[in-house]
Amino acid sequence: MNAFAFTRADSVAGALRAAGGDAKFVAGGTTLVDLMKLGVENPTTVIDISRMPLAGVSRMPDNGLQIGALARNADVAHHPDVVNGYPVLSQALLAGASAQLRNMATTGGNLLQRTRCVAFRDTAMACNKRSPGSGCAAIGGFNRNLAILGTSDRCIASHPSDQNVALTALEATVQISGPKGERSVPIGDFYLLPGDTPERETVLEPGELVTSVTVPPPAPGAKSAYLKLRDRASYEFALASAAVVAIVRGGTIERVRIAMGGIGTKPWRNLEAEAALHGKPATAEQFAKAAQIVLSDAKPQSQNGFKVELAKRCLIAALTTVTQGA
């Protein structure tokens, strides 16, 4: 690990003052410290934000929920308002990592965690995300766990988070503070596709800090669930996952939001698939049509063709669970 300066911020203003250059914020440290040890991230300054007062989870005037950037994943997963109002988020968080990691990991750190692509994490391998212009060892290499949607000829790294898939289905908004002031970004606009610049993963500008995530009030009658498929039952990233939030009345789908994980270069939402389900009976046939739409643009790599069928089955099973309460 390279030498670096360490400083601690007690307030948002203090964190923003300390930020700049290649400085990095550290919250729970469960991603950043690993990547520094591997030589993938080499900040010259690390700003500890973990003691700032941003760990609250509170109701907003519109009955939505505000989750502080420093709220621990475990605390959010077990918060009564999350368990009761947003089961999809609680389930997604509890499907992630291990109990120890969830006790450290924060909402903001989870939003900004980096890909688990082997080429990205191994500095001996070519990776356009880590070292722009160096190539991509994962294309034609070890890509079993990587993306089949949203890829480019520069990068096929999959987005690793479970939390962010649930937040996408819940249409969350990310609150940001930075040198130019405060702004809010819908989560659907927060993540960038790799295109020609895979090193840019989000719309965050240098020195900007995520302060909280807000989630709209639960729609009356909505049910939700998260299904994660992976190589082992715990402590493993998703091969495919699905977050579904739906209102079904009299067997008809009135409203549905779908996001998928494990298969995309960012949390994957497909508005066409949602539109195809609106007003339709909640049947296996309709779910299969929606799954077909989501996967129609899939571009499997040399080792991950199995994800196309796996993801379809994942989505169909999640839709079945939510709409039929099975």
Ligand X SMILES: Cc1cc2nc3c(=O)[nH]c(=O)nc-3n(C[C@H](O)[C@H](O)[C@H](O)COP(=O)(O)OP(=O)(O)OC[C@H]3O[C@@H](n4cnc5c(N)ncnc54)[C@H](O)[C@@H]3O)c2cc1C
Chain positions contacting ligand X, by CB under 6 A: 24-32, 34, 69, 73, 96-97, 101, 104-106, 108-110, 112-113, 160-163, 209-210, 237
Q: Dihedrals φ, ψ of 201, to 5°? A: -100, -25
Comparison of 232 and 326: residue with beta carbon closer to ligand X:
232
Comparison of 12 and 282: residue with beta carbon closer to ligand X:
12
Which neighbouring-strand residues pair with 248? 253
Q: Are 290 and 258 in contact (CB under 8 A)?
A: yes
Q: How far is the CB of 128 from ligand X (least distance, A)?
A: 18
Q: How far is the CB of 28 from ligand X (least distance, A)?
A: 3
| DSSP per-residue codes, 278-301 | TTSB--HHHHHHHHHHHHTT----
Comparison of 152 and 158: residue with beta carbon closer to ligand X:
158
Comparison of 101 and 185: residue with beta carbon closer to ligand X:
101
Q: How far is the CB of 251 from ligand X (least distance, A)?
A: 34
Which neighbouring-strand residues pair with 170? none
- Please list, residue by residue across 106-133, b when 16 or more beta carbons sit within 10 angstroms of its beta carbon and e when fewer do: bbbbbbbbbbebbbbbbeebbbbbbeee
Q: Taking CB positions, which residue lies at the least distance from ligand X?
A: 109
Q: How far is the CB of 99 from ligand X (least distance, A)?
A: 11
Q: How far is the CB of 73 from ligand X (least distance, A)?
A: 6
Comparison of 87 and 160: residue with beta carbon closer to ligand X:
160
Which neighbouring-strand residues pair with 224? 245
Q: Are 93 and 162 in contact (CB under 8 A)?
A: yes
Comparison of 108 and 264: residue with beta carbon closer to ligand X:
108
Angle at the Cα of 98 from the Cα atoms of 82 and 115, rounded to 5 degrees: 90
Q: How far is the CB of 207 from ligand X (least distance, A)?
A: 10
